[in-house]
Structures are given as structure tokens and as C-alpha cells.
Amino acid sequence: MYTTVIGLEVHVQLATKSKLFCGCSTAYGAEPNTQTCPVCIGMPGSLPVMNEEAVALAIETGLALNLQIAKFTKWDRKQYFYPDLPKGYQISQYDLPITHDGWLEIEDPKGAFEPKKIRILRAHLEEDAGKSLHDESAGKGDTLIDLNRTGTPLLEIVSEPDLRSSAEAKAYLTELRLLLTYLGVSDCNMQEGSLRVDANVNLHIPSDAAANDDNAQDGKIATPIVEIKNMNSFRAVERAIDYEADRQYREWKETGRRLGQSPKQTRGWDDAAGVTRAQRSKEESSDYRYFPDPDLAPVVISAEVVAKVRERLIELPADLRKRLVADYGLSLYDADVIVNQGRPTVDYYLTVADGSGDAKSSANWLTQDVLRTLKNRELAIEEFSIPAERLSNFVKKIGAGELPSARGREVFELMADDGLEVDAAMDKLGIAQVDDSEIESLCQELLDANPKVVADVQGGKQQAIGALIGQAKKKNPNIDPGKFRATCLALIAKG
Amino acid sequence: MSISRQEVEKVALLARLTLSDDEAQLMTRQLNDIVSYVDELSQVDTDGVEPMAHAIEVHNVLRPDEVRDSLPRQSALANAPKHSGAGYLVPAVLGD
Amino acid sequence: MTLVEQSAADLLKQLAAGELTSRELTQAYLDQIEQHDARVGAFLRVNAEAALKQADTIDRRRGAGEQIGVLGGLPVAVKDLLCQTGEPTTCASRMLEDFRPPYDSTVVAKLKAADAVLLGRTNMDEFAMGGSTENSAFQPTRNPWDLERSPGGSSGGAAACVAAGMAPLSIGTDTGGSIRQPSAFCGVVGMKPTYGRVSRYGLVAFASSLDQAGPISGTVADTALLLQAIAGHDPRDSTSLNAPTPDYTADVDKPLEGLRLGVVKEHFGEGLDPEVDSAVRAAIAAYEAQGAKIVELSLPHSRFAVATYYVIAPCEASSNLARYDGAHYGRRTEERAMLASLQAERKAAQEAGDADALDNIDTALVRMYRQSRSEAIGPEVKRRIMLGAYALSAGYYDAYYLKALKVRRLIRQDFDQAFEKVDMIVGPTTAGPANKLGEFADDPLGMYLLDLYTVSANLAGLPAMSLPCGATKSGMPIGLQLHAPPLEESRLLRAARMFEQSGVWKSKRCAL
């Protein structure tokens, strides 16, 4: 049929305290135009001075994405007129980006696609623009401009067109977001606009026309590239790509138009309608007239600086997954669930697993009960009422048979509700150790009372014992069902 | 290189200027004069010469990531030709 | 000698000794302005009340025995290109007629800290683009030596007010000669410091990699004094040089021993006015008489300096001036009329069924930008915006902008090589004396070519200064220009002082 070819441009706001070229705060949510100064408003005479932390965060991200760090990087002006761009140009990087040529590996634990490396062309620094708001009260037909966001540092991460499906695109974005939040270089909050995605999409379609088409490869022609904007969630990115692939195929069937036969088009995603729409093309082709910004000095990045930033690097998600699989014996799926929750969850898990010595059971309790409780109560793991050390004692008790696993959940709930240690919770629930002789006498008693069960077991139907477990629990709620079953079978075997 | 009237119109849009017919005609003539003078740069052999974008070439001028006071909103907006008290007002950004 | 005929250094001594108050002095200059500026037009605005109030404060503090700054109550005029809190900063443009910055430029802040009395704001070519001050949107400035002639530009008001005794000290800016050329035309001393020596923060940009603020005054020592007050590293300007500021005033009177003085053969070519030629040669002879060694040399790429400059400066300007679009500050076109005419255009196109024309009509926003800019920006500035936008646009970047940056390096290398052989370069500031007002009204290129001797220092970032070295038969001043290696302002000042002391030429104030 056809292959969908996708490249993503991701803009992330870097988590600096102050803006890229001035001391205004980058805090989100302030009243409009309360976080500006002559520099970010672009007032006559004002001059930019580069924020060193933004440079460090860009290098850090670069290292994490296997990018080359430029030895020499400079700032360029991208010139266009728009009311959210008060200087009439955006300070960005054109031909010497601070980092270039790296990759991010994506993998699907469910195996929807083969693990692959998505090449990253570049990640460069630039300043964000302000916001245009349509202000009903302001007067008919006016747009209100808020320049608080103007000058916030952005890292634009541009992938090569290596993605081949909306699922891959989503996996790439998810992994990228995870990586950036692990590093703490950005909070990647799409609602607040600290992570924004544009997608470049076209199709490769097997066709006879490929024979005399310079852009064709392997007998496939390429359709014109479309840039999709206005996608406000990863789900929207998936839907928009799927819609666009289908739309381009239909269009190609209709027009036969190939790459190079029509200009690159920009389309906006309408989430409610579930369609992309052509955005009115400007009469003028955008001619940004990039040139080096004379107000800013270039930056020379020495090996020492890179080494210093490297020290800041923490273990990255991909390495953590590998470690959880290799050293803790988890399935890739479990490792993925834990790592994707973010670093605090990983730290929690490591404490529980190391403390209890039972990696698998720790993972089960964490991925099921802990995460479910957090979700229901809308808590972050740091706020959870069962600290990791406490849960590790709990897991240890179950593993040692001191707490019947059948009653584990009850104890867990009580620990979570009342903030109790495992022992206190067990006391409160009256869970006590039942010693072996006690179990044996209870088994004997019930077997004597139920000869049919004994006969069934002797006839090979071991599951018949199940009928006795309920009775046993009534007599003694602390009985461990597993132990009870084993003891009964042993007694029957002994005859 | 010579600049056509049409190019002048295109550059005027790029620079967000409007030129009357007379102005455009005069501008075309004057820009051509200047450009033909400037064209003498093509005589200079610049093979292997590094471009020099700054008068004095310094590197790594960076500031610490510290928050400084912003302007009070009223001073930020004081020079705006039109504002609502909360923000700058411009003709509707439509059709983009 | 009346007060306004004395040097700033002499006045400062009297102020410090308590023989003169800052108020008396300020009033004397205000009177001089009152009397003569209607004819000269050097000032765009004079705030007498604020100046006197500042003077009083300084007098009071001095009376109380407080430490007073280096300018100790001397009046200083400031080119209307440097932001000053709450005061109009117009750049002599309709676009910024009502613009009042919410902050002080570093130069203004330093003047205040040095206890200068800010006398008023001087006229200039709009956004500093021009060489005659005729491009001011508000008024022409006349040369005090001959009111039919231009004072030069773009700092024409800054040079004229010193020449006419309306200020002892003034601040100009120099992007391609805008301090040195008017200083030469008006018979005063003006310096463009090394690029980065004086902060550009709050200096409204024309061409960022060339702009530099500097002092204009009546004598070399006064120039040193004013430079002392405004020089220094500024963390708010990334291009500011992080170098210690020498004590310029300390050794200005010490002659330079064993001075090797370069004379550039390209400076004495065709087009040099014979009177200028002989005045400059006389000045060179005066140096030789004081033991300087004269070295002939060549700056082979200097003949491309004007072409290089008129690519780089407009490119940077077109970008720097994009912010004047009527959206956030500055002038906006009258919206109601604009929207009405847009509507009429649309209607006409619809009725004519002309889909193409309909497509080509600007959006309201684009029309607002275009109309605001076109109404409020003057023809010379428009020309440079157009030239720069053209030279940076797709397909021309390499041929013009990039090429110019490469030639710029060659120009700088010429100087670097020259300064291996000489300590300083001496020559004319301008090829001729001040031109008549209106002389280049229809000849922008002719006007550009006048910058022949001055643009190189900006391209190369070097310090350079102009000092009076003679006069034509008709009494128009002639300027001598000195170039030194980067950061060698002290060397320039000492060499300039050597000539001043030689007695070959006694500069005087213009008697209006």
C-alpha cells in the first residue's frame, strides 16, 4: 500500500529560572505582561545577554540524546513580523546549532514494532515568542498580546524522517519526554505549552511513476511534505498523523502530485473535528533573512565544559530499563512500566526491592497496588503514605510467610489508610502467625469430617481440597491457604 | 546585479513598507546606484577568508541564571499605541 | 573669557574650588542656548528646569562636603539616541516622537553617577543614518561656522552645540564616522572609542556591530575627562569589553616618546580637497618636529571600506529597525481610516470580480505594519532598510552580506599589519570641509562616499578621533584623524594633545 514517513520537530521549554536573554522570570501562569523588561519587549536600545544555564541544559540534553556538542556555536536572527515577536526577529541558531547528529532509541514492550534508533538531526537553542489572545472585551477585532513567555529558552529538537507510523511517533515522543523529565531539563507540560510538537509527514507509495522521478527510491514515489501544527497532546499527534496519511493517499490518487510538484504545505489539526486543515498560505514565501546576531558573542564549548556537564548526567531511562531487566530479573514490560513513571518511582522501587530482597514481588506490588492507589488518590509517589522502607518490610514479611499473601492486600490498604508499619497493621487486623501443629490439627479435623474430599483427592482430583479452604478460613482467618492445602495433601498421601 | 521594480516591491513587503509609485520608482533607481557601487566588492579575492560579524571578537559572554525584577505592567505598556491595561492590542491576527 | 568659552577642565577646577556653582554654569549655557539655538538648531529638547534642579542638588551636596563625581556639576548634552528614563528618546524620528523609555542607557546612568548635569538632547540624522543631520524628522541643524552649511552627521547637534558654546561636553555616537565627521566639520574634538569600550546598552541600535558612543568636546583634555566618565565594562552588553578602564586624564599631557606615525597613501588620493590636504600635511610635519617618525604605508583594502560598510550597516539596520512596527511602542497609523480603506479595496476587488487583486490585499495586521512604518520613517532610513532587506534576502546573502563580512576581515588585517610597523595612523577625517545644506538631497550615494576615511575604524573596531587642525580660506574647520590599535584610547589622547600643544593650530570656539 504505502509507507508513512514522519519527522518530528519538538520544542521544549528549558527549566531555567530566568529567560534566555534577560532576568525576567519564566514562571508559568502570571498575569499577562507582568514578567517583561526592556530586553524581552525588544525596547529600543536594549541588548540580550545569554543565560549560561540554558547553554548547560542544552549540552546536557545533547549528551543524553547522543548528539555531537558543537565546539563553536553562535546566534542568528530569524526575521519575520508578528505581534508576539516584539523585536521583529527571533534569536535562534541557523547553521551552527549547539548540538547535532544524535539518536534516540525507541522500543515497544508489547512488540508493536522492532526497536529502532531514530536519528536526531539537531537540537538548537532559541527564544520563545509571546502569546496572542483574542480578547472579546478589548474591542472588536483586536488581538491582545501577552509577552510574558517571550524570551523563554526553547530547545528545538529536530528528528530525521525516520519514523514510520503514528505509534512510532508516539513512542518517540513518550521516550523523549521521559528522558527530558528525568534530566530535569524541562517539565514537558503540554497543557502549559512547555512541550510542543510539529510533524512533517509524507508518504512513499510504490508506483510505476517512480522510474522517471528523481525523488523516488526503491520504486516508490514520495508525496509532497505536509507540516502539521496545533497538536495539543500525544494522542492528537497520533490521530493527526493517521488522518494525514490517509488524506495524502486519497489526494495522491486524485491528483498524482509528487514531492517537488507543489510547495510544502502547512496544515492545522482540528482536534474536535478530527481533521487537518490547510492554513492560509502567506502571499510571500517566508524569507527569514537569517544572519549572525551582532549583539551576542559566539560560544566556544571546551571539552572541560562538556565533561563538567556530563557529571550532571544521571542514569537515563533506557539504561535503567536494561538494569532492571538484567540485575533485577524483571520483564521488559514491568521495567518499562516502572521507568516510565519517572525517576522517583524508580528510586522507590529500588529501595523496596533491595530492602526486601524480592525484586519480582516488589515489582508486582508496585506496578499493581501502589500505582493503582496513587492513581485513585491522585498522589505523586513522593506523597504516598507508605514510604519505600515500609513497603519493603511488608514484601519481606510476605516472602517469609509471616504474612499470608491472601491477606496482603488488606494489610496494604490499612498501611496506606492509617500510615501504619506492617506489624501494626497486622496487629490491628489480628493477623497472627499460625504454627504448623495448629494447621495440622485443623487439616486433620476437616479431612475427618469430609471423607468425600479425601476420596476425590485419592482419585486424582487434587482441586477438591479447595472446598475445605473456605471452611478452614472460617475456623481460623489467619490460616494460610497455600500451607493448608499442602498440609492436607501431605496428610492424605500419608493415609 | 540590478534590481527590478518588481523586486523592490517584493522587498518592500518583506520589510513591511509601502511605497507609492513615485517612491518605488525613485527607490529602484537609487538602490540600483548603490548596489552597482557595492558590486565592486566582487573584485576582492576573499577565498579562504573567515567572515567577520563582530568588530571585536569575544566569546562566551554569559550571565548566571538569576531572576531580576521585571517592569511593572503599566510601564511595560506605557508606550503602547493601544493597550487594554492588561496587554498590547493589535488588529486581529486572522487567517493564519 | 566668558564661562561658555572656557574648557570643561578649567570650569571643573572652579566648581571644585567653590568659585563657581553648577547652577551658575548651567544657567550660562542655558542662556547661550536661548540666544543662539534658534539659528543653529542643535538641540531637540532642553529641559532647563530639570537641569537646574540637578545642578542645585550637586551644589548642595558639594556644600555639605559630599564626594562629587568626576564630572562635578558640568553640563553635558546627550544625543537623542541614548535612552533616558521618562524623557523622550526620539532618535529624531516621527516613529519615536512620544517614546519615553522606562530605563536609562548605561551611558546616561554613568553620566548621572558622575554628577553631570543633563542639559538637553541633541539633534541628529534619523536613527543616526546620515552625514548631515538633514535627515532629522524635526529640524535641520546648521553649522555654527556657516549657517548655510551642514554640521555633518549623524551627531550634528552634538558637535554643533559644543562648537557654539552651548555645552562644554556632549555625547555622540559613531557608526561610520558620526562623531568624527561632524567634529571635523564643526571644529571640535570627537572620539569614537574602541568597539566595546563604552556600553551600547540603551543606545538605540542602528548597526550593532559598528555603533559606539563617544565624547565630543572643545579640547583633548575634556575629551579624556568625558571618556573617563562613560567608559567601562557593562555586563548588560554582551559586546562590552571586559578590560580595565585606564586613567585617561592622568597622562594626557605626557607626549609619546619615539612615536611611529603611519601615513596612509590611500588617504591622499583623488578627491581630497587641497586645503584639507595641506592642513593635514602641516599637522604631520608638526608631529615630525616633535620627534615622531613618519612611516608611509598602505591599507590596500581601504578603498572597499565604503562598499563594505554600506552592505553591513544596512543589513544590521534593516533587522534592528524591524521592531518599529506600531505594535508595542512607537507610532501607529490611524486605524479607523486604515480599516476603512482596506474595506473599500476589498469591496472594489470583489465587485470587479478580481480574485488576484483580492488575494493581494494585505491583512489588517500587515497593513497596520506597513502603513505605520511608511508614515513614520523617513526616506533615508527606508532606503537603508530596503537595501539591507534586499542584501539579506534569499539568493543575495552570499554575494553581499557574507562577502562584505570577508572584506571586513581583510580591512581589519590591513590595520593589524600596519600597527606592527606604527603606533598610530594619521590622516584627514574628511575629504573636504562641511558641505552646503541640501547639497546631496538627490544623491544618497554621493553622501555615502563622504564617509571614505571614517568607516574603516568602525568596521575594524578601532579607536579613532578627530581634532581640529586648520581652516579653509572661508573659515571652515578642517579635521585631523588619528587611528590607534584596539583599547589604545590613551595613546590617541596623548598624541592628539601633542598636536594641540604644538601651537600649529589653535582651535577656538565659534563666535556666533
* Chain A contact partners (≥3 CB pairs within 8 A): B, C
pLDDT at C234 over 70: yes
Q: What is the average pLDDT across B38-65? A: 96
Confirm whether pTM is higher than 0.75: yes
Does an H or E element contain A265, and which? strand A265-270
CA distance C407 to C471: 35
Q: What is the average pLDDT across A413-419? A: 93
Q: How far is B87 from chain A (nearest CA, A)?
A: 5
Q: Does A382 touch chain B (CB under 8 A)?
A: no
C66 part of a folded domain: no
Give the long-range contacts of residues B36-43, CB within 8 A, separation 24 or more.
B36/B2, B37/C306, B37/C307, B37/C310, B37/C445, B37/C448, B38/C307, B38/C310, B38/C311, B38/C400, B39/B1, B40/C304, B40/C307, B41/C304, B41/C307, B41/C308, B41/C311, B41/C400, B41/C403, B41/C404, B41/C407, B42/C399, B42/C403
Residue whose C-alpha cell is 590617541: C492
* Inter-chain CB proximity C238 and A42 less than 8 Å: no
Q: Which residues lie closer than 8 Å to A421 by C-beta, 6 or more apart?
A: A390, A393, A415
Task: Write the pLDDT tens digit of every residue in A288-309.
Answer: 999 999 999 999 999 999 999 9
Q: What is the average pLDDT across C296-309? A: 97
Domains of chain B: 5-43 (1.10.20)
Alpha helices in A212-342 (DSSP H): 234-255, 303-312, 317-328, 332-340
CA distance C28 to C25: 5
Q: What is the pLDDT of residue B94?
A: 62
For residues C262 and C422, the answer to whether their CB atoms sit within 8 Å is yes
Q: How far is B32 from chain A (nearest CA, A)?
A: 20
C372 part of a folded domain: yes
Residue whose C-alpha cell is 476589498: C346
Confidence label for A283 from pLDDT (cuts 50, 70 and 90): very low
Q: Amino acid identity of C290?
A: Q
Half-sphere CA count of C200, side-chain side, radius 13 A: 32
- Closest residue on chain A to C235 (Cα): A49
Q: What is the pLDDT of residue C398?
A: 95
Q: What is the pLDDT of residue A461?
A: 86
Q: Does B50 touch chain A (CB under 8 A)?
A: no
pLDDT at A285 over 60: no
C345 part of a folded domain: yes
Task: Write the pLDDT tens digit of every residue in C429-465.
Answer: 999 999 999 999 889 999 999 999 999 999 999 999 9
Residue whose C-alpha cell is 501443629: A437
Q: What is the pLDDT of residue A233?
A: 95
For residues A391 and A352, the answer to whether their CB atoms sit within 8 Å is yes
C105 part of a folded domain: no
pLDDT at A155 over 70: yes
Q: Which residues lie closer than 8 Å to A232 by C-beta, 6 or more apart?
A: A190, A191, A271
Residue C112 annotated among the catalytic residues of the structure: no
- Closest residue on chain C to B53 (Cα): C405
For residues C264 and C145, the answer to whether their CB atoms sit within 8 Å is no
Question: In angstroms, what CA-CA distances link A130 with A452, C94, C253?
Answer: 80, 27, 55
* Inter-chain CB proximity C368 and B41 less than 8 Å: no
- Closest residue on chain C to A298 (Cα): C238
Q: Does A295 touch chain C (CB under 8 A)?
A: yes
* Inter-chain CB proximity A145 and B90 less than 8 Å: yes
Among A185-189, A256-260, B87-91, whose mean pLDDT is lowest? A256-260
SS3 C171: strand
Confidence label for A213 from pLDDT (cuts 50, 70 and 90): confident
- CA-CA-CA-CA torsion sign (C497, C500, C503, C508): negative
Of the candidates C79, C110, C112, C192, the residue annotated as catalytic is C79
- Closest residue on chain A to C107 (Cα): A45
* Inter-chain CB proximity A143 and B14 less than 8 Å: no
C343 part of a folded domain: yes
Q: Does B63 touch chain A (CB under 8 A)?
A: yes
Q: What is the average pLDDT across C318-327? A: 97
A122 forms beta bridges with A100, A158
A105 forms beta bridges with A117
* Chain C contact partners (≥3 CB pairs within 8 A): A, B
C358 part of a folded domain: yes
C214 part of a folded domain: no
Stretch 122-141 of chain A: residues touching chain B, C-beta under 8 Å: 132-135, 137-139, 141
Task: Write the pLDDT tens digit of every residue in C169-206.
Answer: 999 999 999 999 999 999 999 999 999 999 999 999 99
Q: Which residues lie closer than 8 Å to A289 by C-beta, 6 or more apart?
A: A77, A79, B14, C318, C319, C389, C392, C393, C394, C397
CA distance A75 to A125: 9
Of the candidates C22, C105, C178, C490, the residue annotated as catalytic is C178
- Closest residue on chain A to B83 (Cα): A144
What is the domain count for chain C?
Answer: 1
Confidence label for C342 from pLDDT (cuts 50, 70 and 90): very high
For residues C203 and C171, the answer to whether their CB atoms sit within 8 Å is no
Closest CA relative to residue A337, chosen from A314, A370, A379, A315: A370
Confidence label for B96 from pLDDT (cuts 50, 70 and 90): very low
Residue C155 annotated among the catalytic residues of the structure: no
Among A211-225, C80-94, C388-402, whose mean pLDDT is lowest? A211-225
Using a CB-CB cut-off of 8 Å, the residues of chain B touching A41 are 71, 76
Residue-number span of the structural domain to which C342 is assigned: 325-376
* Inter-chain CB proximity B58 and C327 less than 8 Å: no
pLDDT at A137 over 70: no
Using a CB-CB cut-off of 8 Å, the residues of chain A touching B62 are 49-52, 55, 299
Query: What distance lies between CA C452 and its chain's CA centroid?
Result: 16
CA distance A291 to A268: 29
CB atoms under 10 Å from CB of A440, counted, come to 15
- CA-CA-CA-CA torsion sign (C218, C173, C109, C242): negative
Of the candidates C136, C154, C155, C490, the residue annotated as catalytic is C154
C200 part of a folded domain: no
